Amino acid sequence: MAGNPPLIVILGPTAVGKTGLAMMLARRFNGEIIGADSRQIYRYMDIGTAKPTPEQQEQVPHHLIDVVDPDENLGLAQYQRLTMAAIHAVHERGRLPLLVGGTGQYITAVVESWSIPEVSPNLALRDELEGFAREQGSEALHHRLQQVDPTSADAIHHRNIRRVVRALEVYLETGSPISELQRKQPPPFTIQQYGLTMERDRLYQRADHRLDIMMAEGFLDEVRDLLERGYDRKLPSMSGLGYAQLAAHLLDGTPLDEAIESTRTATHDFIRRQFTWFRGHDSGIAWYDSEQVNAQTIFEDLAVWLEQLEWAF
């Protein structure tokens, strides 16, 4: 690792305060932020994804935000390739890259330098597998994955149908488990990872409060606009927290309070899955309680770390 340029990673579950810390570190250490959020990559999806505001993006350069339209696909291999290019470009400008987000697979693919199979989407096969899940249940589909790729099956919850389908798609297209194709390599960076955490019930309260703010800021109108633009509710982008539930309100007549409560429940479940991922892929994360840690503590730690690398920002 000696001589490799630095990469700072700020990770943690939704609503824990990653953006605030990232902005402070970027300003203090001449940094640029690279997004690791599988929903903030989409254009027109701003409020519901808690995308950095235009003011924040003006204060600190941001990358991997607003990359594709909601009906376009950005696979993991493409995300990794774009992120690696962004990190190298930040280094060339003499600045410090900060990889920031809560999508564990995105972060791990970069930190562990996965070798990701470039398997193009097979829409017919995906429709067949998704149809099987609808008819037989997500656990039955997950059992099919367990039979051919138990490593991936152990890492993917049966309710995460999109990832189960993708793992099966890769196996059926290549004959090899995706867990074998996703080989790990030494990353070309020296990495310092900061993880933000919080007492679980308190974090749920913060997430609920943030949803209230999103609704007040026009989240429902944002979903209505996406539907009016012609983006189908079945698109992967529209399966994001709140988007699917509010689309059901607009298209199916689900009462708004039920849609909001369903979003709260889905968000809490998502937070649990995020914690599970980070626990299973903890390669030296320095964890801090975001409500108790003083930002100055992290500033001092990072300054010492960069000085040891003899990198000045």
Written as one string, the DSSP assignment of 114-129 is: -B-------HHHHHHH
Beta strands in 216-274 (DSSP E): none
Task: Give the pLDDT band of residue 306 (cuts 50, 70, 90).
Answer: very high
Going by pLDDT thresholds of 50, 70 and 90, the confidence category of residue 122 is confident
With a CB cutoff of 8 Å and minimum separation 6, the contacts of 299 are 24, 25, 28
pLDDT band at residue 1 using 50, 70 and 90 as cut-offs = very low
Is a pLDDT exceeding 90 seen at residue 82? yes
Residues of the chain with pLDDT > 90: what percent? 83
Distance CA 83, CA 7 (A): 12
* Residues ≥6 apart with Cβ < 8 Å to 296: none
**Tokens, residue 82:** 């774009």
Name the residue with higher pLDDT: 233 or 179.
233
295 compared with 56, residue with greater pLDDT: 56
pLDDT greater than 90 at residue 120: no
- The Cα 258–Cα 105 span in angstroms is 30
Torsion of CA 269, 270, 275, 276, to 10 degrees: 80
Structural domains in the chain? 6-116+184-309 (3.40.50.300), 123-181 (1.10.20.140)
Of 63-67, 189-193, 307-311, the range with the lowest mean pLDDT is 307-311
Q: What pTM does this model have?
A: 0.84
Predicted confidence at residue 9, as pLDDT, reads 98
**Bridge pairing between strands 31-35 and 285-289:** unpaired
